[in-house]
Structure 1
Amino acid sequence: MPQASIKAAMSGQPNCGKSTMFNAITGGSARVGNYPGITVDRLEGLYRQNGYDIHLVDLPGTYSLTSYSMEEVVARNVIVDEHPDVVINMIDATALERSLYLAVQFMEIGAPLVLGLNMMDEVKRSGVTIDVKKLSQLLGVPAAACTARIGQGKDELMAEVVRLAKDTKGHWKPIRLSYGPDLDPILERMTRRIEEERFMTNRHDPRWVAIKYLEGDELVINAGRAAGPLSRELETMCLEAEKVTRHNSNTTPDAIIADWRYGFINGLLKQGVVSGGDELRRNFSDNIDRVVTHKLLGPLLMLGVLWLMFYITFTLGAYPQGWIEDGFNSLAELGTAILPEGYIQSLVVSGIIGGVGAVMGFTPLILIMFAMLVFLEDLGYMARVAYMMDKVMRIFGLHGMSVMPLIMSGGIPGGCAVPGVMCARTLRSPRERLATILTAPFMVCGAKTTAYLMLVAAFFPSDPTGAMFLVVLSAWAFVLVVSRLLRWTVVKGESTPFVMEIPPYRLPTFRGVLIHTWERVWQYIKKAGTVILAVSIVMWAVMTFPELPQDKVEAYDAQLQAAEAQVKAENPQATGEDLDRLVSGAKAPITDAQNEAALQYALGGRIGSFLKPVTDLAGFPWQANIALIGAFAAKEVFVSTMATAYSMGEVDPEDAGSLSDRLAADPAWSLPAVLSVFVFMLLYTPCMVTVVAIAKEANWKWALFSVGGSMAFAFVVAVGVYHGARLFV
């Protein structure tokens, strides 16, 4: 029976014991040759095991796969062009973090990889313990402990080579690492263009080509220039990337790529892979992490940071928020004075200025919150939060890497569920990924933040920081509970090991924070000027038409005239401003009743009233019904719709007060009703754009499940909260 053949390349950094292990494996079968056109020696040998002929080639020692030296070029070309069935990466286990840097690059290429942890005898003598099995699980590649100088571990290493070759059958699967908010978007654009043009894809993985361009790899760039005109476009993107990183981080793309690779390795080693002597040799980031990621101090610090963010937001933001609200009130006064009474005045003042103005009023708060979030992300703190949360996440069927999609979705208010859902693609397990995607919309995104800021200001003016803090904690609690339920039912499966990038701390530049903050705030403003404007006009129309029948209008007019006549009869001495004040006071209840009747008669009111028998179970004021329906388009619409509903028929904008003031004055908003709306807003159907994102990342079945399932769950919880609160209020 003929022997099956496996081609394996042996690689490693200089002085890692690679050649020693090669000689121990191949014995006297090794032969020396040269690589074509160069004088670098090429060693080849044969090893037989369990019916397999393993043809080994010993690559030159190299620190990376970027073409900085002839050795690196040779090693990379053998891997890329000869496409071995398995790559054996020998590692100096006494310098594990540095040695794994090359392994990560092999994983990015997609080569089937086996790790040989050499010098394990020295590791043991130094009092250090390396959990080889855990390292293998976390990286997702087989590993074997070795001591090359005495040939120990060679049989185990080659057994793993055979096993991996049988499992992969020559199939390469590149991993996808994140390189941070500055490079990831540019990297995605480059990868997409390379895929579209099939640019050098016959030889390289598209994303790997993009990374090499960002690293300034001369050989790849020169090959790209020869391959076609797309190279010029990619080089322009590289210049854009360098400009961004120079401005935001005062560094270069290749330095950031190296940082995030080491961050990935650092995050892996923090999972208990290494214990004992060497783990006590800490760098600057490690010293900080002893406090920041401490079992007790870390979570307390995290909660303190979250509370401080809300305190700063409400304290600093109150002043510019008041200025913007005053500005829109003045604009409403101007519109009332200039425009003749009628539909146009109502549309402009109540629909456009009232709706869009209510959303824009919260821009200062959003800006402050975004700025703090961007600072923490660029600092490297958010990665530590993910690391701390891993053990908690596991209990509820999620993954430590789920934290980043959840934070992006609004785990710290100000995010957006769309990039959060897309970010979940970094999770290896389809089940953990799906559970993350389905629960990410529960977080307090920037759109929900606007609504909560309004509601908190209206109903918890004495402690807005504490109220928002509890809202965010509630969001996290619901995510964990629902994830656990999902993982017990519709998305069952085992949890996967946790590995993520933990980048070094880097103090963000003012310019970088400013640019990233402005990008998010500008998206918010654009939404207010486009989607919110359009929906505000639609909502104004559905809350205006059809109008009250003429006979009912005449009946209200008669009541107003009767009220005025009665005031004059009861106060014959009153004149001027005193008489006007008395007449206005008598007419106010009738005017309010007429405005409410008009709203209820309009299409919006009819929809709200139609739903009322059901939503009464949760205590929703009827105005909230139509606002919550409109918010399916975009959650900010809840604010603009409420603003329109509570400004319809407003006579004097100067006396109207803020939307929060008007809500607080409505007796329908009892504390149980407020809490019910709070929780329903948190949990119910994602906005339309998020639903589409879920469909793209999963499929339409899960997207529709997120709509129907979250709606039903939100309503059940809201009913429970409403009736539970009524027992105590």
Structure 2
Amino acid sequence: MSEENRMIHVGFVGNPNCGKTTLFNAFTGAKLKVANWPGVTVERVEGETSYKGRPIRVVDTPGIYSLTCYTLEEIVTRKCLENDEVDVIINVVDASSLERNLYLTLQLLELKKPVILALNMMDIVEDRGMEIDLHRLPEMLGSIPVVPVSARKRTGLDVLLHAVVHHYEEGPQGVVVTYTPKIENKISKIETILKAHYGDLDNLRWHAIKFLEYDEEVWNDHPLDLSNIIDHNYEKEIINQKYDYIEGIIRECLVNKEEKAAFTDKIDEYLTHPLLGVPFFLGIMALVFFLTFTVGDFLKGYFEAALGMLSVSMQQVMENIHAAAWITSLVVDGIVAGVGGILTFLPNIFILFLALAFLEDSGYMARVAYVMNEIMGRVGLSGKAFLPMLLGFGCTVPAVMAARALPSEKDRKRTILITPFMSCSARLPIYVLFSQMFFPDHALIVAYSLYLVGLLMAIAIAYVTHRLAKAEEEDTLLIELPEYKTPNGRTVAIYVWDKVKDYLGKAGTTIFLATIVLWFVLNSGTSGFVTDVSQSFAAAVGRVLIPVLRPAGLGDWRIAVALISGLSAKEVVVSSFSVLFGINNINSAAGMGELSKILGSFGFGGVNAYALMIFCLLYSPCIAAVATIKKETGSLRWTIGMVFFQLTVAWVASVLVYQIGSLIF
């Protein structure tokens, strides 16, 4: 392949919340490839684009504040840049926070790779009455390309791509910060020694600076005896001198910095208030679930009608082709009832993810971590640990993976232990079904209470484990609070579609297979196929658990089987009820009425239903989440212990709810 047609590998690098991912999506759209970085479990997202026929592969690296390795994300991004996985670096910068963002820029320039500065969020700069001198700024950074872009409005993209191709051909350039003569002298001596021992290194200055900063990665990768040159850690001095240089840039290039008070600051007076912050958070989440129930239920009616017609049609098709009775039952009572019943909850899931996407892209989620910092500090964690817990409202798998951002293994494991207590979207169908069935006038409040119970349980367990371990208090939280902005429609759409696609994929795979397996164990026994499900394999397994679940008001073998099936995916609990009790459209008014009547026949009422929802909230997460926990912790023993711990917590909590509730009601 000729050099002119060679694919250019571009890395998007920037601080968290700088709009990097939105810009990445603007380039690649839905043509994304998601995998793990080699050797670690941090996701890497790649995509492809082109400029005037020149193929370009782009990689979205984890958001970082510096190239100093404190977190796994910083390690991954730095390794990507050091190992020549990218030819050109697009440093995405939040133009409204230029001073903070430029620290990473200066570090990237020291790598001696082509760097392009993408100034994002210029509309916020204008709204605040500020101006950036777009002629002086590139001059002070060594004539590197500086391109104003808008990820939300998709402007400046062609100019940025042109800069990528041109700068790749031109090679690295940019300013190198000049430190004090003392430090520069040491850098020069270390460069000489590095060249003698590791002559193949392209960026000797970068490595020399990292030696002076006592960077562990550099010392391990390139062991040298520098005791006669380095007498102490120079990291603080180097950082201070970088920021002195940045202050000079800001004085020269940023006009009217304090002209207007930021809209963000005004809102944060309330949303991050020490006393009002938590009530605002709870109120916002209550609004989310109000929309999830009201709007979701309105749309759900159409899905229920479609499912009813599908069930009747499939029954007629089976009769017309003279299918065997067992095949008809498998298709209609198993697959259509199980998978179809889950799909009727899609509108609720869609609204939930849409609301979470708006909160995340608007910049509010980071505020929640800040607000919860004091509460989390009392249980030995920082507000940063609350971020994985927030992700748990969507799905436990990425929430567990997000715990890797915490600095210590002990804190990561404690956070992983409590994160599954957050109500993931897979539990929502259970809440919707049983709250509407047994608490029709207060369904929203009942469902919302379960989210609060999960949150309180997580905090309580974190507190107990903190006291038992006698752990030291977590360091002070350092987190970026981005500017509030109108959520980008494209980013929200990609996020929601990705989550809905996962839900549909689960319905077409895990839930599909689970309903088939469940149908077979319900319709077969030691004597072969059975017409009485009480003689099936499923009944035999369920009866073993009756004595265990009876104190929790769940002493029916069909409920036990539904809970077991929920280990594959929590949505399967609902589809299992549909198959176990022979109800085709379980989420419709007629279906809920029929199920309520059957459950009521053996004394299952509102208290039992709430105990069931508590058990589903707290017991072991799905198989995919457990596998992720094993991968993240690297310990099968710890993972198995966590599963049994959560089963115990779920059992104790549901027993207390049922026993106390039975005395009151």
Shorter-chain TM range is 0.5 to 0.7
- Give the superposition deviation at 1:194: 6.3
- Give the superposition deviation at 1:702: 2.0
1:549–1:350: structure 2 CA closer, same or farther, 3 Å change rule?
Answer: same
Aligned length: 456
1:657–1:349: structure 2 CA closer, same or farther, 3 Å change rule?
Answer: farther
Match of residue 619 from structure 1: 553
- Give the superposition deviation at 1:357: 0.7
Give the AA of the match of 2:522.
M
Query: Helix, strand or coil: the match of 1:109?
Result: coil
Match of residue 620 from structure 2: 685
- Give the superposition deviation at 1:470: 0.7
Highest CA radius of gyration, 1 or 2? 1
Distance, in Å, in 2 between the alignment partners of 1:355 and 1:191 is: 47
Q: 1:385 aligns with which of 368, 380, 385?
A: 368
Distance, in Å, in 1 between the alignment partners of 2:380 and 2:348 is: 34
Q: In 1, are the aligned partners of 2:363 and 2:485 still within 8 Å (CA)?
A: yes
Distance, in Å, in 1 between the alignment partners of 2:438 and 2:356 is: 26
Match of residue 424 from structure 1: 403
Query: Helix, strand or coil: the match of 2:482?
Result: coil
Q: In 1, are the aligned partners of 2:88 and 2:114 still within 8 Å (CA)?
A: no
Give the AA of the match of 1:433.
R
Q: Can you give the 5+ residue segments of structure 1 that lack an aligned partner in the other structure?
A: 1-63, 65-104, 111-172, 179-186, 201-205, 226-241, 255-264, 266-277, 554-594
Matches within 5 A, 1:541-690: 541-546=520-525, 598-620=532-554, 621-647=556-582, 658-665=590-597, 666-667=599-600, 668=602, 669-690=604-625
Q: 1:722 aligns with which of 646, 655, 658?
A: 658
1:654–1:722: structure 2 CA closer, same or farther, 3 Å change rule?
Answer: closer
Give per-residue Cα distances to partners, 1:691-711, cap 9 Å, x unaligned: 121122213222112111111
Matches within 5 A, 1:460-499: 460-489=439-468, 492-499=471-478
Query: Helix, strand or coil: the match of 1:507?
Result: coil
Q: In 2, are the aligned partners of 1:684 and 1:711 still within 8 Å (CA)?
A: yes
Q: In 1, are the aligned partners of 2:381 and 2:473 still within 8 Å (CA)?
A: no
Matches within 5 A, 1:305-384: 305-340=284-319, 342-384=325-367
Query: Helix, strand or coil: the match of 1:686?
Result: coil
Distance, in Å, in 1 between the alignment partners of 2:348 and 2:617 is: 19
Q: In 1, are the aligned partners of 2:344 and 2:587 still within 8 Å (CA)?
A: no
Query: Helix, strand or coil: the match of 2:66?
Result: helix
1:696–1:251: structure 2 CA closer, same or farther, 3 Å change rule?
Answer: farther
Give per-residue Cα distances to partners, 1:413-459, cap 9 Å, x unaligned: xx111111111111123322211111101111011112212222211
1:437–1:549: structure 2 CA closer, same or farther, 3 Å change rule?
Answer: closer
Give the AA of the match of 1:664.
S
Q: In 2, are the aligned partners of 1:250 and 1:509 still within 8 Å (CA)?
A: no
Distance, in Å, in 1 between the alignment partners of 2:638 and 2:587 is: 48
- Give the superposition deviation at 1:192: 7.7
State the TM-score, normalized to the length of structure 1. Answer: 0.57
1:659–1:441: structure 2 CA closer, same or farther, 3 Å change rule?
Answer: farther
Distance, in Å, in 1 between the alignment partners of 2:550 and 2:580 is: 19
CA RMSD of aligned residues (A): 3.7
Give the AA of the match of 1:726.
S
Give per-residue Cα distances to partners, 1:34-58, cap 9 Å, x unaligned: xxxxxxxxxxxxxxxxxxxxxxxxx
Matched, 1:516 2:518: no
Q: Can you give the 5+ residue segments of structure 2 that lack an aligned partner in the other structure?
A: 1-14, 16-62, 94-104, 116-146, 161-242, 244-256
Q: 1:710 aligns with which of 642, 646, 649?
A: 646
Distance, in Å, in 2 between the alignment partners of 1:424 and 1:407 is: 11
- Give the superposition deviation at 1:249: 7.8
Distance, in Å, in 2 between the alignment partners of 1:640 and 1:108 is: 48
Q: In 2, are the aligned partners of 1:542 and 1:604 still within 8 Å (CA)?
A: yes
Matched, 1:398 2:303: no
1:304–1:211: structure 2 CA closer, same or farther, 3 Å change rule?
Answer: farther
Matched, 1:539 2:522: no
Give the AA of the match of 1:356.
V
Give the AA of the match of 1:647.
G
Give per-residue Cα distances to partners, 1:89-138, cap 9 Å, x unaligned: xxxxxxxxxxxxxxxx997222xxxxxxxxxxxxxxxxxxxxxxxxxxxx
Distance, in Å, in 1 between the alignment partners of 2:479 and 2:88 is: 21
1:670–1:699: structure 2 CA closer, same or farther, 3 Å change rule?
Answer: same
Matches within 5 A, 1:16-35: none
Q: In 1, are the aligned partners of 2:89 and 2:114 still within 8 Å (CA)?
A: no
Query: Helix, strand or coil: the match of 2:423?
Result: coil
Query: Helix, strand or coil: the match of 2:609?
Result: helix
Match of residue 436 from structure 2: 457
Distance, in Å, in 2 between the alignment partners of 1:464 and 1:608 is: 29
Query: Helix, strand or coil: the match of 2:372?
Result: helix
Give per-residue Cα distances to partners, 1:638-683, cap 9 Å, x unaligned: 11111111217x7xx7998554333322214222211221111111
Distance, in Å, in 2 between the alignment partners of 1:109 and 1:500 is: 16
Give the AA of the match of 2:617.
L
Distance, in Å, in 2 between the alignment partners of 1:293 and 1:491 is: 30
Query: Helix, strand or coil: the match of 1:108?
Result: coil
Distance, in Å, in 2 between the alignment partners of 1:333 and 1:421 is: 42
Give the AA of the match of 1:405.
P
Give per-residue Cα distances to partners, 1:310-369, cap 9 Å, x unaligned: 111211111221111121111111222221461111111111000001110000011011
Give the AA of the match of 1:619.
G
- Give the superposition deviation at 1:177: 6.5
Match of residue 49 from structure 2: none
Give the AA of the match of 2:547.
P
- Give the superposition deviation at 1:512: 2.3
Q: In 1, are the aligned partners of 2:433 and 2:587 still within 8 Å (CA)?
A: no
In terms of mean alpha carbon deviation, does 691-700 or 661-670 score higher?
Answer: 661-670
Match of residue 66 from structure 2: 108
Distance, in Å, in 1 between the alignment partners of 2:154 and 2:431 is: 33
Match of residue 694 from structure 1: 629
Distance, in Å, in 2 between the alignment partners of 1:374 and 1:400 is: 20
Q: In 1, are the aligned partners of 2:71 and 2:404 still within 8 Å (CA)?
A: no
Distance, in Å, in 2 between the alignment partners of 1:431 and 1:320 is: 44
Q: In 2, are the aligned partners of 1:431 and 1:491 still within 8 Å (CA)?
A: no
1:212–1:247: structure 2 CA closer, same or farther, 3 Å change rule?
Answer: closer
State the TM-score, normalized to the length of structure 2. Answer: 0.62
Give the AA of the match of 2:660.
G
Q: In 2, are the aligned partners of 1:248 and 1:508 still within 8 Å (CA)?
A: no
Give per-residue Cα distances to partners, 1:184-235, cap 9 Å, x unaligned: xxx97x778668xx437xxxxx9xx98656679997998589xxxxxxxxxx
Give the AA of the match of 1:617.
P
1:432–1:193: structure 2 CA closer, same or farther, 3 Å change rule?
Answer: closer
Give per-residue Cα distances to partners, 1:381-424, cap 9 Å, x unaligned: 111111111111112222201111001011xxxx1111111111
Query: Helix, strand or coil: the match of 2:441?
Result: coil
Matched, 1:246 2:151: yes
Distance, in Å, in 2 between the alignment partners of 1:487 and 1:493 is: 8
1:221–1:348: structure 2 CA closer, same or farther, 3 Å change rule?
Answer: farther
Give the AA of the match of 2:655.
V
Matched, 1:286 2:286: no
Q: In 1, are the aligned partners of 2:370 and 2:383 still within 8 Å (CA)?
A: yes
Distance, in Å, in 2 between the alignment partners of 1:685 and 1:334 is: 37
1:342–1:443: structure 2 CA closer, same or farther, 3 Å change rule?
Answer: same
1:459–1:432: structure 2 CA closer, same or farther, 3 Å change rule?
Answer: same
- Give the superposition deviation at 1:626: 0.6
Give the AA of the match of 2:151.
R
Q: Percent identity?
A: 31
Q: In 2, are the aligned partners of 1:405 and 1:440 still within 8 Å (CA)?
A: yes
Give the AA of the match of 1:426.
A
Query: Helix, strand or coil: the match of 2:524?
Result: coil
Q: In 1, are the aligned partners of 2:567 and 2:620 still within 8 Å (CA)?
A: yes
- Give the superposition deviation at 1:472: 0.7
